[in-house]
Amino acid sequence: MVSKSSGSSTPGRPRIEDVARAAGVSTASVSYALNGRGGVSDKTRQHIVEVAKRLGWSPHEAARRLSSTRSETIGLVISRAAEVVATEPFFGSFTAGVSEALSGLGYSLCFQVVPDVASEMLTLEKWSARKTVDGVLLLDPRTNDPRIRLVEELGLPTVIAGGPVESTSVTSVWTDDYTGMRAAVAQLMRLGHRRFARIIESDTLLHSRVRTKAMVDALADAGLPDPVLLDLDNSRESIAALTKAVLDLPDRPTAVMCDDDLVGISVLAAVNERGLGVPDDVSVMVWDDSLLCQMMTPSLSAMRRDVLSYGSQSARALVDLVQGARPRALLHSVPTFVRRASIGTTSVGPAS
């Protein structure tokens, strides 16, 4: 696995960033030029090759094995617990969208679930070394994401679903969660809600941070206090225990917003076990909408986006990269708030 501190087993060996700096180009351009891909002019390619030769740069071992022969296969690796991938509707819909798009383009899908990011990076290295895939789809971008540095060194065309990420070497297909969250908070404030709680999937994930910032900003603009934030990733407590902690607060939040539908369902159960009601005592909203949300009693309000087409657009963008397109940021959609029975008005007071 390549890391920031040890990108090579040979001390002092020039890195792709060194070549980019000396050549006055982006790391993406260096990757394209040295791996024989489109995206740079012949003049720029020649300049980069000459600079790399002068610096004594040599490619990552896995990248060295790459050839111009394409496998016509795209890789998708997800670093989550297998039971989460099996039960969370987002993953099924996204993967179905990817598979449908690739089938129409004549590509196959190589799909793998691994427990953590370290395993994900090892999988990427293995796929690259064995020429298993022509490019990869990554989910759940993080701040200072180590996977981006790795795919740059491997020369793997990469699309990240999420972001947009601050990198010129990968394409990001993203949904505008910030705008969507602010609109949802505004609607809840119009219903009288003043005290909010948010159950975060993980603060290391970019989409969790964006949604939290949107909520904090919206409440600050309205002169309201910050939301109560509960991070599942950093907690040893169950969802039921976290919900109980929220309900026991002296100024109990009237609206709880969750990062996914399964967490929202757990919150519904925890509230009912306390003898409280949804939405009479507390309103609940989740991200993303799903059939499960509609089937619950009460039905769950949710942020909706077309996850099937999200997967399809991500797959098409990756095939474009494989065929020589330049990396870019592509906005898929702005999630919209769907109000159902789990959201009600509150007696806290009218919106200001």
User: What does the domain layout of the chain look like in residue ranges?
Assistant: 16-59, 73-175+307-333, 177-305
CATH architecture, domain defined by 177-305? 3-Layer(aba) Sandwich (3.40)
Could you tell me the fold of the domain covering 73-175+307-333?
Rossmann fold (3.40.50)
Distance CA 64, CA 46 (A): 18
pLDDT of residue 60: 54
If we measure between CA atoms, which residue out of 254, 331, 327, 257 comes closest to residue 288? Answer: 257
Residue count of the chain, please give it: 352
Bridge partner list, 230: 199
Question: Per mean pLDDT, which range of 18-32, 83-97, 255-269, 329-343 is the poorest?
Answer: 18-32
- Residue 277 belongs to what H/E stretch? none
Q: Kindly give, in sequence order, each residue whose CB lies less than 8 Å from that of residue 93, ignoring residues fewer than 6 positions away.
A: 290, 307, 308, 311
Query: What is the band of 31 on the pLDDT scale with cuts at 50, 70, 90?
Result: confident
- pLDDT tops 60 at residue 68: no
Q: What is the pTM of this model?
A: 0.79
Q: Kindly give, in sequence order, each residue whose CB lies less than 8 Å from that of residue 263, ignoring residues fewer than 6 positions away.
A: 199, 201, 232, 239, 286
- pLDDT tops 70 at residue 200: yes
Torsion of CA 275, 299, 343, 278, to 10 degrees: 0
C-alpha distances in Å from residue 206, one per residue of 56, 65, 213, 318: 36, 33, 11, 21
If we measure between CA atoms, which residue out of 195, 144, 189, 194 comes closest to residue 165? Answer: 144
Query: What is the band of 12 on the pLDDT scale with cuts at 50, 70, 90?
Result: low
Q: Tell me which residue has tokens 């619950």.
A: 296
Given a contact cutoff of 8 angstroms between Cβ atoms, the answer to whether 136 and 124 are in contact is yes
Q: Strand 171-175 vs strand 135-139: parallel, antiparallel, or unpaired?
A: unpaired
pLDDT of residue 13: 65
Given a contact cutoff of 8 angstroms between Cβ atoms, the answer to whether 263 and 290 are in contact is no
Helix ranges, the chain (H): 16-23, 27-34, 42-55, 61-64, 82-87, 89-105, 117-129, 146-154, 177-190, 206-221, 239-247, 261-273, 291-295, 307-322
What is the secondary structure of 195-217 as a DSSP string? -EEEEES-TTBHHHHHHHHHHHH
Lay out the sheet containing 135-139: strands in order across.
Answer: 108-114, 73-79, 135-139, 158-161, 171-175, 329-333
Could you tell me the fold of the domain covering 16-59?
434 Repressor (Amino-terminal Domain) (1.10.260)
Mean pLDDT for 269-273 is: 91
Mean pLDDT for 312-317 is: 97
- Evaluate whether 73-175+307-333 and 177-305 have a shared fold: yes
If we measure between CA atoms, which residue out of 138, 256, 271, 261 comes closest to residue 206? Answer: 138
Distance CA 121, CA 222 (A): 43
- pLDDT tops 90 at residue 44: no
Q: What rounded mean pLDDT belongs to the chain? A: 88
pLDDT of residue 74: 97
Bridge partner list, 283: 255
